[in-house]
Chain A
Amino acid sequence: MGLGAAMFPNIPVIGSPIHPEAALQAADVAAKKRMADVALNAAKSKGATYADVRIGRYLNQSIVTRETRVQNIANTESYGMGVRVLADGCWGFAATDKMDNDGIARAADLAVRIAKDNAKLLSEPVQLAPQKGYGEVSWKTPIEKNAFEIPIKEKVDLLLAANNAALSAGASFVNNSLFMINEQKYFASTDGSYIDQDIHRIWPNFTITKTDSKSGKFETRNSLGAPMGMGYEYLIPDKSTVLNGIFPIYRTRFDMIEDAKTATAQLEEKLKAKPIEPGKYDLILDPTNLFLTIHESVGHPTELDRVLGYEANFAGTSFLTLDKWKSGKFNFGSNIVNFVGDKLQPGGLATVGYDDEGVKCGKWDLIKDGVLVNYQTIRDQAHILGLNASQGCCYAQSWDDVQFQRMPNVSLQPGKAKLSPAELIKNTEKGLYMFGRNSYSIDQQRYNFQFSSQLCYEIKDGKIAGMVSGAAYQANTQEFWNSCSAICDASDYRLGGSFFDGKGQPQQVSAVSHGCSTAKFDKVNVINTSRKI
């Protein structure tokens, strides 16, 4: 059985009961503040030295299509509260969707009880970086069009038009989905913050397949659009944001129909592509591919909780140990390599005004001129780096999950000198030009990785020499970033990202973006992954 009311007969009841419907009015911040105060007061009365509350209403909409049909349209809604407390120097957390005073106070009491039970397993009490209360403040993703307010028909028509474009061009199958997320989050803490945020994300995602029954082969090409921290405006094409390289690539607006046509044409070539000859190649990586390599080899190893061993049992630790940071000269990459953690990056999936422990967000250097200079931290880690404030990297996937350190948008800064992908190609003798995310894998300390792509073009003597199949690059993180010899300028800069970065136990997903321009990496090991069964 669950931990029910019978176990907590003496909870103080503060404030008035609130009907759940009342709390769902987005504007009813006052009701959320009242509920938050119930939890904070209950936690304090039971012995918490610190408490925070997250009241979340999470709205998702998904439209799933294949070929000429809509398979499903679903709206999901989840509403509830998570209470986190410090008691006897230990964290405790409980969540509830019973949002009356009794339910809230029970959750707060349970969180305190868990903290006290677990305090005996603690070696050192939690040390929180100071955080001033902001009073009542708010933040909203700067969207132009709320995707939830766009008529379903308009969204369905767009997906089916893209599917039709692919089918007319000869695709065998098209799976095409659109996901929209709205996190309405209210945070309050005993520090005196009451923060109301309205966060929007959108993700168009197709896979087009072409089969060849004679040979038994099939190939797929996924959308090169990115999930974004934007509204529906992302799906309204704008020619001024298109980059015309060897085929059209989209920056801050995505043309789903055009990309579906391009993808289908590329599948013809993909089915006939010659197998890659394994060996060392100069890699030119488009941001649609490089973002994921950044995520795995830079984003994750600079997470301080991994460095300290808090993720050892699941996501792993990190080769970027504290001694390397303290030395001030750990050569992470070549001197043109600069990475920033940025929670304010426009369009970024991890972009918010305040994190999930009430810290105002910002931007900071992680790798400066190739040297490791900082990590990603939250309030109970800041003291380890000698910082007097958190960097605002705390996040929980929902109200019923405890918040912990999650990745900000981690982005490679563009080259300062004018440089285009065309020039990179021209200056490459034996290389590969890769687009799109595909297979990805990295070890638990982030040394050895392997990535492949949606599209891989061979470069011979400064020219594109057709598509190759089965190519995957395997490298060591430090060697790879030290082999970075050129980064295109800001005119080529784009965001890629993931809705589902998994970490923690129980596992939680977070959404995060990575910006970069096309970059070149010298003499990287490439293997051929083709096998027969």
Chain B
Amino acid sequence: MPIYSKEEAQALLKKVLSYSKADECEVSLRGNDGGNIRTALNAVSTAGDISTVSLAVSSVYGKKTGTATINEFDDASLEKVVRRAEELAQLAPENPETMPMLGPQTFKDSIAYNPATAAMTPESRAEMVGQSLDVTKAANLQAAGFLENTTRFSAVMNSKGLFAYDKSTDVIYSVTTRNAAGTISGYAARGFTDVKKMDTASATKIATQKALSSASPKAIEPGKYTVILEPVAAVYMLENMFRFDARSAEEGRSFLSKKGGGTRLGEKLMDDKVNIYSDPFNTELPGPTWNGDGMPLERTDWIKEGVVKNLSYSRYWAQKKGVTPVPGPSNIIMDGGTTSLEEMIKSTERGILVSRLWYIRMVDPQSLLLTGLTRDGTFYIENGQIKFPVKNFRFNESPVIMLNNVEALGKPERTISVESYRSYLIPPMKIRDFTFTSLSDAV
């Protein structure tokens, strides 16, 4: 029973809590159920079906906390994990940051669960992957891809009367298409709550088209270029910025710290066109309805018209600073504009179209400078037209600088990060003065 219903989760957590002898106790239950198929060289390479449930117990004595987890649910194991958490709490020194647990809260029902996605089977996965392979075989290319569906639930209960439950589904597909010689490569990635929106064949057609149009790339000089970032490229860059944490900013160790002390809350940090927010009830990108502390999640603006609108405050830090706690982002949505990708290309005198970015890592947390590379479809634009494919670049750029240099935004699309596989709603974007620092021979 990897996916517990609300009632089943409630009954189990109640039983676990009944074993508690601590001052306060929080018990949480999480489960995943799903499967995957991985392909390479136009054939399946690995596939699996995995179901797990895990229980975590946090026990508190005064200001002392201990946590233990287990994945066995017979009565003896349940009692054992509670005792283990209590032993750890007794051994722990006092932590002045320990906050009293929250009492009962009111939560709106999550909209993140889709029964069709939850009902996927090994057979339906194989069929969806087969449709993708048909496209690459017809184009005489080789596909390496990954399809995964996951149903998740999480529930939390504490000795103060809090109970929260969420259930969600997710299906992702990504595919890289290359020729046998390894001289061309294309990519596409899709992620949805509802499997009915997933069309593996059309995604593969886009990857195929990217690959076929990237033959014989020319080397052009690195430097500052106007770039058009497709959503899957843009989001990987921006993902590194989506932690709008007040505490590290106030401690003077964040890109949101202010010179002389304090934070940049209320400051205009980006272009007017930039609006970034969280909303667990967005129908295109539904998210969890409560956070790890059991606080209800609602729509929260982070950047509004380029201004830092909110920073997240943990319950402890909010109390210390005398402000209301603000839970961190549950999901991320960036508003877009009306410019189509074609119009962005048409209005570009000299620039680079970037299909995908790769291996992004933080270089300098002070400026949020990131490095990484382009991959799977990088094209030179001149006088409003794509002229030719170019060799891949390494870049060194900050998403904050990037969002100051916004020329145009397109319609937001649900897209996934190629590293974390989290889903986001992000528009394609045209950015001026993006810094490429060297060339790569990689295809």
* Residues of A participating in the B interface, judged by any CB pair closer than 8 Å: 1-4, 19-21, 69-80, 90-97, 110-111, 113-115, 117-118, 120-124, 151-153, 156, 160, 172-173, 209, 211-218, 220, 308-314, 316-317, 319, 321, 400-402, 404, 439-448, 450, 452, 470, 472, 474, 476, 504-507, 525, 527, 529-533
Contact = CB atoms under 8 A, between A and B. Distances in A.
B174 to A, nearest CB: 6
Interface in B330-349: none
B100 to A, nearest CB: 17
Interface stretch (B101-109, B142-150, B278-286, B287-295): B142-150
A274 to B, nearest CB: 16
Nearest to B374: A443
A78 B373 contact: no
A522 B51 CA distance: 52
Contact of A94 (B41, B50, B129, B361): B50
A518 B17 CA distance: 55
Nearest to A4: B1
Contacts of A80: 52, 71
Contact of B95 (A71, A311, A321, A446): A71
B33 interface: yes
Q: Which of B53, B76, B145, B176 has the most CB of A within 10 A?
A: B176
B401 interface: yes
24 contacts: A1-B118, A70-B93, A70-B95, A73-B92, A95-B49, A115-B47, A120-B130, A121-B130, A121-B133, A156-B93, A214-B260, A216-B260, A218-B366, A308-B40, A310-B41, A312-B144, A312-B185, A313-B39, A314-B418, A321-B182, A441-B359, A448-B442, A450-B363, A450-B396
Interface stretch (B250-258, B296-304, B320-328, B380-388): B250-258
A220 B248 CA distance: 13
B146 A314 contact: yes
Given A79-B71, A317-B182, A441-B371, A172 B3 contact: no
A533 B400 contact: yes
A529 B2 CA distance: 47
B238 interface: no
A447 B3 contact: no
A372 to B, nearest CB: 17
A210 to B, nearest CB: 9
B354 interface: no
Given A73-B89, A317-B178, 11 more contacts: A21-B72, A77-B71, A78-B54, A121-B129, A216-B260, A313-B175, A400-B50, A441-B371, A505-B38, A530-B367, A533-B269
Given A114-B122, A529-B369, A443 B257 contact: no
B398 interface: yes
B91 A73 contact: yes
B42 A505 contact: no
A400 B52 contact: yes
Contacts of A402: 46, 48
Given A93-B47, A118-B44, A213-B252, A76 B69 contact: yes
Contacts of B46: 91, 93, 402, 404
A220 to B, nearest CB: 8
A71 B94 CA distance: 9
B228 to A, nearest CB: 21
A216 B258 CA distance: 6
8 shortest interchain CB distances as A-B pairs: A216-B259, A312-B144, A448-B440, A211-B252, A443-B442, A445-B442, A505-B146, A313-B144
Q: Which of B46, B145, B175, B362 has the most CB of A within 10 A?
A: B46
B319 to A, nearest CB: 16
Interface of B: 1-3, 33, 35-54, 65-72, 74, 76-77, 84, 88-89, 91-93, 95-97, 118-119, 121-123, 126, 129-130, 133, 142, 144-146, 148, 174-176, 178, 182, 185, 187, 251-253, 255, 257-261, 269, 358-369, 371-373, 375, 392, 394, 396, 398, 400-401, 418, 421, 437-443
Contact of A121 (B43, B119, B358, B371): B43
B257 A216 contact: yes
A447 B441 contact: yes
Given A172-B252, A476-B441, A531-B398, A441 B260 contact: no
A450 to B, nearest CB: 5
A448 B393 CA distance: 9
Contacts of B3: 1-2
A440 B360 CA distance: 9
Contact of A310 (B40, B95, B126, B182): B40
Nearest to A213: B261
A67 to B, nearest CB: 10
Nearest to A152: B91
A445 B2 contact: no
Given A91-B46, A218-B366, A123 B396 contact: no
A474 B394 contact: yes
Given A73-B88, A218-B253, A452-B363, A439 B47 contact: no
Contacts of B359: 441-444
Q: Which of A110, A450, A452 has the most CB of B within 10 A?
A: A450
Contacts of B401: 531, 533
Contacts of B1: 2, 4
A173 B254 CA distance: 13
Contacts of A314: 146, 174, 418
A121 B392 CA distance: 32
Contacts of A4: 1
A173 B247 CA distance: 12
A527 B441 CA distance: 19
A19 B80 CA distance: 15
Contacts of B142: 309, 312
Given A20-B77, A73-B66, A78-B71, A444 B442 contact: yes
A503 B45 CA distance: 15
Given A2-B2, A77-B71, A117-B123, A97 B53 contact: yes
A96 B51 contact: yes
Contact of A472 (B174, B182, B363, B440): B363
Contacts of A401: 48, 50
A443 B373 contact: yes
Nearest to A502: B419
Contacts of A214: 260
Given A21-B76, A172-B252, A309 B440 contact: no
Q: Which of B1, B37, B38, B438 has the most CB of A within 10 A?
A: B38
A310 to B, nearest CB: 4
Q: Which of A2, A3, A95 has the most CB of B within 10 A?
A: A2
Q: Which of B47, B95, B269 has the most CB of A within 10 A?
A: B47
A118 B176 contact: no
Contact of A95 (B48, B126, B260, B400): B48
Contact of A529 (B68, B96, B364, B372): B364
B358 to A, nearest CB: 6
Contact of B251 (A70, A173, A216): A173
A74 B145 contact: no
A446 B443 CA distance: 10
Contacts of B375: 443-444
Contacts of A311: 40, 144
Contacts of A73: 65-67, 88-89, 91-92
Nearest to A90: B44
A402 B54 CA distance: 19
Contacts of A215: 259
Contacts of B41: 123, 308-310
A445 B359 CA distance: 11
